[in-house]
A and B are shown apart, each in its own frame.
Chain A
Amino acid sequence: MKLTPYSQNAYTPVPSGFTKFRRNCVPWQIVRFIAINIKMTMLILKSHH
């Protein structure tokens, strides 16, 4: 994307090419799918009283 100096979006971080690649890299996302599900399950177990 093209940065417009002094505009609203000129002061935000943007993902690098490698970060964007990882977001859609199927093997890595399978790993993340498992990891996120574990995190969410832990949260659910912690939340029931």
Chain B
Amino acid sequence: MARVLVLGGGISGHTAATFLKKWLGRSHEVVVVTPNSKWNWIPSNVWVGVGGMSREDVVFELAPVYKKAGIDYRQAKAISINPEGSATSALPFVSVEYTGTANAGSKEDITYDYLINATGPRLNFAATEGLGPDCGNTVSICTADHAVEAYEKLAQVIEEMKKGEKKKFLIGTGHGMCTCQGAAFEFTFNVEHKLKEAGVRDNAQITYISNEYELGDFGVGGMHLKMGGYITSGKVFAESLYTERGVRWITRAHVKKVSKGKIDYETLNGDMKEEEFDYAMLIPPFAGAGMKAYDKNGEDITSKIFNPGGFMFVDADYSKGAAPFEDYRAEDWPKYCQNQTYKNMFAVGIAFAPPHLISKPMKSPNGTPINPTPPRTGMPSAMMGKAVAYNIKDMIQKGATEPTHSARMSEMGAACVASAGKGFFSGSAAAMTMYPIVPDYQKYPDYGRDLNGTFGEIGLAGHWIKHFLHYSFLWKAKLKPFWTIIPE
């Protein structure tokens, strides 16, 4: 009997664990270690943040779902990996610390035959002084609880605006190295929509602040679309939407410090500026889970397994990390998400170390990096989780010595539906696809992407799709009938 240990129960980890258990059956063990007791459909947190959904609409208890599936669920956080075992254990293992109320603080070493690291992001609010809900200056929608707080504060501000007060809203990225601009984009327009519904839009000045070089970069170097007889940069459509909805924008910005009602930020040309706000939602940069790694003799090998950000090395070409942007290639990106030193270890979603940025690296004259980092959430992370699950299944059941399925971000596309306001008849969303996610200028020399697989449009249909996806992915994650036919 083989044991597959999955670290993390988010979109990629949950996908990998549930498919593996279905395919491997009772003959093999699937263990999921995650510090959370609940699964969160994160894309809908934006609606929780504007009061369009409740916390309960976007989360569910993991324990009953894993019990039904036959998955061994441990509510714990992974502390360290011993990929060679130790003096007392011949098998590799992960040291975990339990976080559930019944056994909080107790520790255990869990051995494994195969390991999937799907730990997702650590929200690194500490990277920017004064950032995040704990400091009380800004809100976040990165977790369901954060989103609840974001709405409570938004509702207070709306009440004050109803009395005639003018308010300044600041939404965007809280550091020069953030990813997930899409979430900030969605929240910007959902707040704008909410203010309009509340009849207080005229009392609001809304500003979007971002580390993107231009609007529409989204950490993937932007994209080009065929529309209206032109091949046009997504920047044009993004700026059009901001203009149409009366949202001012600041790009190429690194937020250095957040204090009560004010941010200090640096721009790409080195200027130091300030921006005042009454309500701010700023996304933090992401870091890895912060696990350590030790060899059989107890020597610290963390730097061989993880990059300085805490993301796990896999089969990417890391020699390109310092190469100029023009030398970036599609094949730099990992094909199998497999660690090359310990081939029974895989990392998916946010947890794997990207070889380099997708957007062009930029620095201010002061040496401050101001560029989006690569997005690895949502659809691509689930596809990586499923591909790795396939590979491990084939290794266990068919004795495959090499991975059989790939999930390279430069060979897969992504569909993204970015909400711009909730309402069955009044809502809208930008529905986009891009193929591939990482531009491949060797295969598609003009624009880096296949323009037949890359498109975008805004409208009510996009909102219906986002709403439909909310229910269908929760259905799938709860392993309800026919869950396997819902694509990643």
Contacts and interface: CB of A to CB of B under 8 A. Distances in A.
Interface of A: 1, 8-9, 12-15, 22-24, 26, 29-30, 32-33, 36-37, 39-44, 46-49
A41 B387 CA distance: 18
B453 A43 contact: yes
B249 interface: yes
Contact of A40 (B408, B428, B433): B433
B461 A29 contact: yes
B415 A43 contact: yes
B428 A23 contact: yes
Which are the 9 A-B pairs with shortest beta-carbon distances? A47-B412, A9-B243, A32-B461, A23-B459, A33-B461, A12-B239, A29-B460, A43-B413, A40-B415
Contact of B244 (A1, A30, A48): A1
Given A33-B465, A49-B405, A14 B244 contact: yes
Contact of B433 (A15, A26, A30, A43): A43
Nearest to B436: A47
Interface of B (DSSP majority class): mixed
B59 interface: no
Interface residues of B, number: 38
A46 B246 contact: no
Contacts of B320: none
Interface string B21-56: 000000000000000000000000000000000000
Contacts, number: 87
B459 to A, nearest CB: 4
B258 interface: no
Given A1-B246, A9-B243, A22-B459, A47 B435 contact: yes
B265 interface: no
B345 interface: no
B317 interface: no
A41 B412 CA distance: 13
Which of A14, A26, A33, A41 has the most chain B CB within a 10 Å cutoff? A33
Interface in B399-418: 405-408, 411-415
Contacts of A8: 248-249
